[in-house]
Structure 1
Amino acid sequence: MVNSSVSTIIGLMSGTSGDGLDIACCEFTNEKIWHFKIIKAETIPFTKELEQSLQNAHLLDAESLECLDLEFGEWMGQAVKDFCLKNNLKPSAIASHGHTVFHRPDLKMTKQIGNGFALSYAAGLPVINDFRKLDVILGGQGAPLVPIGDALLFSDFDFALNLGGIANISMDHQGERIAFDTCPFNLLLNHFALKSGKAYDDGGNLAKSGSIIPEALSALNALDFYQQYGAKSLGRENISQDFLPVLNHDTYLPKDVLATLSEHFAACIAKIILDHVKDKSTKHRLLVTGGGAYNSFFIQNLQNKICHSVNLVLPEKQLIDFKEALVFAFLGVLRLRKETNCLASVTGATKNNCGGTIFGLF
């Protein structure tokens, strides 16, 4: 597989939203440029018990976290095995993002659980995981990792925006790829939708019915994260320590907080995009994927803010839902080929690197 121009591999993505496991079996062809095809993809919901365990993983002691690491790896492996049997698929390997428990690149620490040995044994396939650690050791943020996929698989777009638990953006700038987390997204939107009795804000309708809270909007804009420039990333810790204290006021209605967040996110992302538009006389293209692409109220707000310079493109549903799993499959292919799969221009590391730990025999 390593030397082949055609690679078939499964990508697994368990994002910060924490609602399920994205599985995508993908084929990659290297003919001077890369081409891809998603053969089959599916989201496997977590059991309630597993979902709760993953959401609280950062609170566990070392022994309990190790047990969850093994349990989650075995669960993912069985999910992949069932997926392959059901769809008569024969991939060469699995590339897994894992579930992020801690992400503190300032301490050279990042932890994604989903044990590689347990995953490989349960699935009966080789596994590549732990993609972030090498970059963090090299002084980088270890995130985002998707931009090399944006550069090599989606080069016909000027910007690529992913709206997951945390929003991140990727683009070319002065001859090199840059990317960074722009702001929280579904992690906060889902949190306040739950306060209205909804699992999420379907279509942004709750936000649409609310009113912006001016003092909360000002406080959000003033947070330290937005004063940082260059490579930067957000973790769950930032949400609880920095963002929630601004928004958790007894007098704030959930729908108004959602309206405020929608405006804040749209303005923040629009400013980044417009600041990086190279030629103001030419229409640029923005690819939007991730669960937030279905938040039509937010999408319309963002489009209104960038429409003079940028066309916002929503691709087919499969790509909206599974782009990150697709790219992690691609990162696995690059790791097996011993080619760069993490860009220093994106993460701030001392050099480009080829991250990922391999489990199983090739």
Structure 2
Amino acid sequence: MLKNQYHVLGVMSGTSLDGIDLAEVFFTVDQGVWTYEFGHTQMLPYDEKREKAFLADLVSLNPEELDAADSRYSQFLGEQIKAFISKYNIQHLDAVCSHGHTALHRPDLGVTRQIGNQKRIAEISGQRVVCDFRVQDVALGGQGAPLVPIGDRLLFGAFDYCINLGGFANLSYEQDGLRIAYDLCPVNIILNKLVEPLGLDYDDGGKIAQSGTVNDELLKQLNGLDYYAQEPPKSLGLEWVRSEIHKKFKLNELTPADALATFVEHMAYQIAKPLKEESKVLFTGGGAHNEYLLQRIESYKSLKITVPDKQLIEYKEALIFALLGVLKLRDEVNCLASVTGASKDHSSGLIFNANI
């Protein structure tokens, strides 16, 4: 008989390379209605010269090197999870539910690869681990992304749209009884790169972007990229960013402020474009702190925007991967064909027991 309460740890590492998000979550399900409460949460920043540099170079690795990277990152992740559990004296977990870190995402070639999905994590942490949620979907003909929309449906159905502003902007909404979701555009994966010449990690509140001047020619080039004309399901990866976005900025030498202003305008246009006027929109992810970006989005559409408390802004993806793991434990659908384009809805992920 299935339980109606679960105590799990959600673990997320995103493309913006900020660090690892860990969220202790308590779930309750009552007649198909899911509710949650956060326990302890923490973001563990990546070391600039070790983990961050190592993860930023993953797309250049060959298969053997990726296997080694997987082992290295699994060891690191297991140690961080064990330390977090010990620090907060967390007891009686049903599972650790981990996204891993995206090393390669080319669903058009039938390939996606997350590192940090080895049984070693379960052995080090002493916990049952649910992980590697994307591979099965790609094998079924899907994009393997985005995976968050099932959580949007089950936990945040009161909103017309859920938008996460992380490394990329992801949109999720209901249409004719189906959940539709796709990547809108890059966000922090570019914004954070553009402030590096200034010795900063991010543009606080979008203040630097607000001080700059939009380059109309570059804005036109960005908005004209082929991806934006494609119909969903579709998703973005680091490979696309490097081949399409970085190239555009190299060809248009701008000051950091003007580059930021131009890219914020590009993001605002792409994010607002599919939204209906006066709709209720939940914004989460690190980009939700960018007040200037939200202002520019509202300049295109009149919206009822909700920016929740800091904990949900920063840990929503960890929360939802915790839910994906619980759904896998229950052998229930956690991956929607209407979102990814897979041949069917399915319950994705691997389960490793600690055997300790």
User: How much is the aligned-residue C-alpha RMSD, in angstroms?
Assistant: 1.4
Amino acid at match of 1:285: K
The 2-side partners of 1:221 and 1:192 are apart by: 18
Aligned to 2:351: 358
**CA displacement, residues 52-108 of structure 1 (integer Å, 9 cap, x when unaligned):** 111112222333322221121121111111111121212121111111011011111
Q: State the shift of 1:40 in Å.
A: 1.2
The 1-side partners of 2:188 and 2:289 are apart by: 11
Aligned to 1:154: 156
Aligned to 1:105: 107
Residues 303 and 311, structure 1, Cα contact 8 Å, conserved in 2: no
Q: State the shift of 1:155 in Å.
A: 0.8
1:301-320 paired onto structure 2 within 5 Å: 301-307=296-302, 310-320=303-313
Which of these residues, 170, 173, 190, is aligned with residue 171 of structure 1? 173
Question: Which segment is superposed worse, 154-163 or 115-124?
Answer: 115-124
Q: State the shift of 1:229 in Å.
A: 0.6
**CA displacement, residues 252-282 of structure 1 (integer Å, 9 cap, x when unaligned):** 22211110110111111111113xx6xxxxx
The 1-side partners of 2:59 and 2:120 are apart by: 21
Aligned to 2:43: 43
Report the identity percentage: 44
1:173-322 paired onto structure 2 within 5 Å: 173-249=175-251, 251-274=253-276, 283-307=278-302, 310-322=303-315
Amino acid at match of 1:296: E
Aligned to 1:19: 18
Structure 1 unmatched runs, 5+:
278-282
Aligned to 2:80: 79
The 1-side partners of 2:240 and 2:223 are apart by: 15
Structure 2 unmatched runs, 5+:
none
Question: Which segment is superposed worse, 140-149 or 49-58?
Answer: 49-58
Amino acid at match of 2:260: L
Q: State the shift of 1:116 in Å.
A: 2.3
**CA displacement, residues 92-151 of structure 1 (integer Å, 9 cap, x when unaligned):** 211111110110111110000003212111111111111011111111111000000000
Q: Given the two structures, how large is their TM-score scaled by the length of structure 2?
A: 0.96
Q: State the shift of 1:312 in Å.
A: 0.6
Q: Given the two structures, how large is their TM-score scaled by the length of structure 1?
A: 0.94
Aligned length: 352
Aligned to 1:280: none
The 2-side partners of 1:330 and 1:360 are apart by: 18
Amino acid at match of 1:268: Q
Amino acid at match of 1:306: K
Amino acid at match of 2:132: D
